[in-house]
């Protein structure tokens, strides 16, 4: 989107994802260049097409995208309008126009453009999400909610769990962007239940800034909804150092150990007052026991890590954590027992 203020998500308004009906290699090349973030080269690739046919709708649509990426907004809009005049059946062009109208806070015009896009493809899965997003901007909450519900029904019927999690997340971002904390948190919670990575994404997503201080939002960020299941491989190990809200030595020792042994993990670590989560092929939760000791809970789906591989990797990780703590002088290994007879 082109807005700098808290944005909404319009599915399909991705100016780099433009469908090409023609087989012309020059259009395909221009699209590839746009995908690579090279708008000037894309416009150059389109020049021969537009010299041959100044009203080539798809070429104009692609060149409008190049202009927008260059920051030449007036020229981009002019090309977009010419594309629509040449071929008003280009659904992506109507979606792009809606995006421009939203950026300029012309919400009624955006709604009209999205209605044209829906008329061109009534079964498109993004129709209800887009309409709901703009209706929220117009303050028409009840109508927006109806569209979001229909969007989620379609997503649940047509997509796998990951797709449904994405759908709930997108709905949550739209509610959050307009300050509706209740429905935003409810949909985000459902997204996290389906896919834990959605909580991690929400922590740094600017769409949630308007609801960041809401108690329910903060509570959700601090809630672990995915403890190891009965079928998961899991192991728990305590250490005589506290987690201490992420300020202790244990979390830093875990991260050091992971780097040293080459165990893959996401550097975006979730840190809360009660626990920290390191995401990777192994899920590592760092927290405190009731006695104040630090504890590691390591788990993985049984289908993802073979039994032998699991034990090897866990043993190596635990040994590396212990060594990292030893280097910090926080753990003492027991003295070796003397040989027999001495």
Is the residue at 334 inside a domain? no
CATH code, domain with 256: 3.30.310.50
Range of the domain at 209: 25-221
* The model's pTM: 0.84
* pLDDT tens track for 272-292: 999 999 999 999 999 999 888
Half-sphere exposure of 318 (CA within 13 A, CB side): 16
297 and 284 Cβ atoms separated by less than 8 Å: yes
Query: Which strands make up the sheet holding 283-288, listed edge to edge?
Result: 232-239, 294-301, 283-288, 275-278, 270-271
pLDDT of residue 17: 39
Residues 323 and 202 in one domain: no
Is the residue at 175 inside a domain? yes
pLDDT of residue 1: 30
Q: Which of 202, 144, 152, 196 is nearest to 173 (CA)?
A: 202
Residue 12 neighbours by CB under 8 Å, 6+ apart: 92, 95, 117, 124, 126, 130
116 and 93 Cβ atoms separated by less than 8 Å: no
Tally of structural domains, the chain: 2
pLDDT of residue 15: 38
Q: In terms of DSSP bridges, do strands 232-239 and 275-278 run parallel, antiparallel, or are they unpaired?
A: unpaired
CATH code, domain with 137: 1.25.40.10
| Final residue of a structural domain among 193, 221, 249 | 221
- Residue ranges in the chain whose pLDDT is less than 70: 1-23, 158-162, 330-342
10 and 95 Cβ atoms separated by less than 8 Å: yes
pLDDT of residue 311: 95
pLDDT of residue 156: 79
Residues 217 and 236 in one domain: no
Is the residue at 259 inside a domain? yes
Q: What is the DSSP string of 224-286?
A: ---PPPTTEEEEEEEESS--GGGTSHHHHHHHHHHHHHT--B-S--EE-SSEEEE-BSSEEEE
pLDDT of residue 207: 96
Residues 272 and 215 in one domain: no
pLDDT of residue 160: 62
């Amino acid at each position: 989107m082109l807005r700098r203020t808290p944005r909404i998500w319009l599915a399909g308004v991705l100016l780099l994802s433009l469908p090409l009906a023609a087989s012309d290699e020059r259009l395909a090349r221009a699209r590839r260049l746009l995908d690579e973030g090279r708008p000037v080269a894309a416009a150059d690739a389109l020049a021969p097409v537009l010299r041959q046919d100044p009203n080539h709708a798809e070429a104009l649509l692609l060149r409008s995208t190049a202009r927008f990426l260059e920051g030449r907004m007036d020229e981009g809009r002019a090309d977009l309008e010419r594309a629509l005049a040449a071929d008003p059946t280009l659904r992506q062009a109507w979606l792009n126009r809606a995006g421009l109208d939203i950026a300029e806070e012309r919400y009624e015009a955006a709604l009209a453009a999205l209605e044209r896009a829906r008329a061109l493809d009534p079964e498109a899965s993004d129709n209800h999400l887009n309409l709901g997003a703009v209706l929220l901007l117009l303050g028409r909450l009840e109508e927006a909610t109806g569209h979001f519900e229909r969007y989620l029904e379609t997503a649940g019927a047509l997509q796998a769990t990951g797709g449904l999690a994405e759908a709930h997340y997108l709905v949550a971002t739209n509610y959050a962007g307009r300050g509706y904390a209740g429905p935003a948190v409810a949909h985000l919670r459902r997204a996290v239940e389906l896919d834990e990575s959605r909580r991690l994404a929400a922590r740094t997503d600017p769409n949630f800034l308007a609801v960041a201080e809401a108690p329910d939002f903060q509570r959700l960020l601090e809630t672990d909804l995915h403890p190891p299941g009965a079928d998961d491989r899991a192991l728990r190990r305590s250490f005589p150092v506290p987690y201490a809200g992420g300020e202790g030595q244990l979390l830093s020792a875990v991260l050091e150990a992971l780097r040293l042994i080459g165990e893959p993990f996401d550097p975006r670590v979730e840190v809360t007052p009660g626990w920290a989560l390191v995401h990777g092929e192994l899920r590592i939760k760092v927290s405190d026991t009731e006695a104040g000791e630090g504890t590691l809970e390591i788990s993985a789906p049984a289908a993802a890590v073979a039994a032998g591989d699991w034990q090897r990797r866990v043993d190596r990780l635990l040994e590396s954590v212990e060594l990292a703590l030893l280097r910090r002088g926080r753990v003492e290994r027991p003295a070796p027992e003397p040989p027999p007879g001495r």
